[in-house]
Structure 1
Amino acid sequence: MPEGDDKPWAERGLDASGRPRLGGIGEHLAPELERLTGLETRATTLGHIQRGGVPSAYDRVLATRLGMAAVDSVSDKRWGTMVALRGTDVVSVGFQEAVGNLKFVPQYRYDEAAVLFG
């Protein structure tokens, strides 16, 4: 949060344990990122249906690692990069490397999915 910004980002009441329900930080960060980078930036808040179920411990740790790496990239002003998982390592990848060549899913993978999911 910018210095001097005292907006209450926890105006969503309390949860069952009496803790503040936090949220909305993405709506604050998007315009800041756009201002700093000069690139159009949008905040997206996923709903429960889009999340696809209860995250496993692996999901939570991976999300934390990816988020930390993304914040490090911004702090280090490594624009034009994204974070990715290579094996078990979280790495920074340039956009050109990430999208420079199309990768196709082989037809047999679609066929497998059709058998499994109909």
Structure 2
Amino acid sequence: MDPFSLVLLLLLVPLVLLSVRGSRQRKAVAQMQSELATGTEVMTASGQFGTVTGVRDDRVEIEVAPGVRTWWLRQAIARRVDPAAPVAVEDDLAEDQRVADDVVEDDPRDDPSDGSRRPA
């Protein structure tokens, strides 16, 4: 096998594998969107969470707060939300902030960039 054919083959194999994977993902999303039913908790592509309260042709009605309902295209529904899945809580944010509070400032006297050290 000549080197050009080998390089071409090495480039085409990952391309085919990625294409197959993308096709499977599109089919899974399309199936999920076609199976939407009243009571399903969902997240839209823009990050809006809600519960499906109605389905018509290519539109889905979602209740995003008590008494607040909005209509979305079926294709805008990104995924179903597992009610048992944990949601980010303020404790997670507080942990991030604690890490940032642990930063220790460098003492400018320890900077040897100019070749000299200042006495303490």
TM-score under structure 2 length normalisation: 0.24
1 or 2, which has the higher strand percentage?
2
Calculate the TM-score normalised by the size of structure 1: 0.25
Higher RCO, Cα 8 Å, sep 6+: 2
